[in-house]
Amino acid sequence: MSSLVISIIRYAVITVGIAVAYYLYFHWSDARPAIEIILLTCVAFNGIISFVSHVIYHKSDARRLGLESANPGFQFEVGFANLAMGLGALLSLVFHWGATANIAIILCYALYLLQAIILHLYRFIKREKSDAGYLWGSVVFAFLYVANMLFFAVAGLAQERLGPF
């Protein structure tokens, strides 16, 4: 139950963050404030709260994900990875590391989550988890979340004339 409540809070913050980021991006035609909102809500908050879910409430989270095991090591590793990204995002915002660092952190977190989505899709295809709720929550909505982060990262790369732009 605890991980379910955390998931609802997490998805609400992500949704609000993405909506605010789109508003700022299209209202001001500037990717930097939108990227900062994405970094705060979708990476920093989500990374830290995911750590709490995976490590502190690991039993509830494992049940939610269908990964119950006597050894929570996998949950802890995932939680620590989320915490590292979340804290990195928070540090980038607090210490004003700049647009390049912000974009790099967003890209890293988006690619990390994309790999998790691929794992969840594989589990769904192999019928390890075959309910529709799992497909929608762990694959479809998660992919939309990652796609939105990638949109802002690419918009930031283009605006800052970084990478291939």
Residue 7 sits at φ, ψ, to 5 deg, of: -65, -40
> Could you read off the pLDDT of 107-132 as tens digits, one per residue?
999 999 999 999 999 999 999 888 89
pLDDT band at 14 (very low <50, low <70, confident <90, very high): very high
In this prediction the pTM is 0.92
> What integer is the mean pLDDT of 19-38?
97
Q: What is the pLDDT of residue 147?
A: 98
* CA dihedral angle for residue 97, residue 150, residue 35, residue 81, rounded to 10 degrees: -50
Domain ranges of the chain: 2-159
Please say if the pLDDT value at position 60 is more than 90.
no
Do 21 and 34 meet the contact criterion of CB atoms below 8 Å apart? yes
d(CA 37, CA 27): 14
